[in-house]
Amino acid sequence: MDEEAKKAAKDNIVKLVKEMTDPTNNHNSRNSVRVIGFNRKLSEAQEVNSITVEDTVEKLFTDAEQNYNWGVDMQGAIHEARRILESEKSGKRKHIVLLSQGESTFSYDLTDAAKTETKYKTINEDKVVHTNPLLPWPFTFDVTVRRANLLKDAKSLIEFLNKLGITRFNEALDGVSTIAGLTDLIGKFFRNPLDYIDLADIDSSKLEEQKFNYEKKIGEGYHFRSFYERKLDPLPFKDDIVKKIKHNLKTELDKAALPTNTLSYIGKKLGLTNTSEKAIDLFATSLVDYIFYGRKNVFYNHNLSAQAEAKIATEKGIHFYAVDVTKNDEQKNKFDDYLKKCPGIRASF
Condensed to tens digits (0 to 9), the pLDDT of residues 193-245 reads: 556 678 899 999 999 999 999 999 999 888 999 999 988 766 666 666 667 66
pLDDT tens, position by position, 308-342: 999 999 999 888 877 776 655 655 555 556 445 44
Q: Are 150 and 233 in contact (CB under 8 A)?
A: no
DSSP annotation string for 45-63: PEEE-TTTHHHHHHHHHHH
Count of helix runs (H) and strand runs (E) in the chain: 11, 13
Q: Where are the alpha helices (DSSP H) in 116-218?
A: 150-163, 184-187
Contacts by 260-264, CB closer than 8 A, 24 or more apart:
262/166, 262/168, 263/168
Task: Return the pLDDT at 32.
Answer: 81
CA 107 to chain centre: 12
In a structure prediction context, what are the per-residue pLDDT tens digits for the chain, which is 349 residues long?
667 777 877 888 888 888 888 877 777 667 788 888 888 888 888 888 888 988 988 888 888 777 666 788 999 999 999 999 888 877 677 888 887 766 889 999 999 999 999 999 988 888 898 887 666 666 677 888 888 655 565 566 556 556 545 455 555 545 544 444 443 433 443 445 556 678 899 999 999 999 999 999 999 888 999 999 988 766 666 666 667 666 766 666 665 454 445 555 555 554 544 455 666 666 666 656 655 567 788 999 999 999 999 999 999 988 887 777 665 565 555 555 644 544 333 333 4
Query: Quick one: 89 exposed, middle or buried, by C-beta within 10 A (0-12, 13-18, 19+)?
Result: exposed
Task: Return the pLDDT at 289.
Answer: 63
Task: Return the pLDDT at 186.
Answer: 39
DSSP annotation string for 288-341: IIIIT--EEEEEEEHHHHHHHHHHHHHHTT-EEEEEETTS-HHHHHHHHHHHHH
Distance CA 179, CA 190 (A): 16
Query: Quick one: 282 exposed, middle or buried, by C-beta within 10 A (0-12, 13-18, 19+)?
Result: middle
Distance CA 349, CA 59 (A): 19
Distance CA 237, CA 193 (A): 8
Query: Torsions phi, psi of 347, nearest 5?
Result: -145, 140
Per-position b or e across 172-184, b if 16+ CB within 10 A of its CB = bbeebbebbebee
Distance CA 171, CA 194 (A): 18
**Is 0.75 surpassed by the pTM of this model?**
no
Per-position b or e across 128-158, b if 16+ CB within 10 A of its CB = bebbeeeeeeeeeeeeebebbbbbebbeeeb
Distance CA 132, CA 142 (A): 6
Q: Are 334 and 93 in contact (CB under 8 A)?
A: no
**Closest by Cα among 199, 203, 104, 196 to 144:** 199
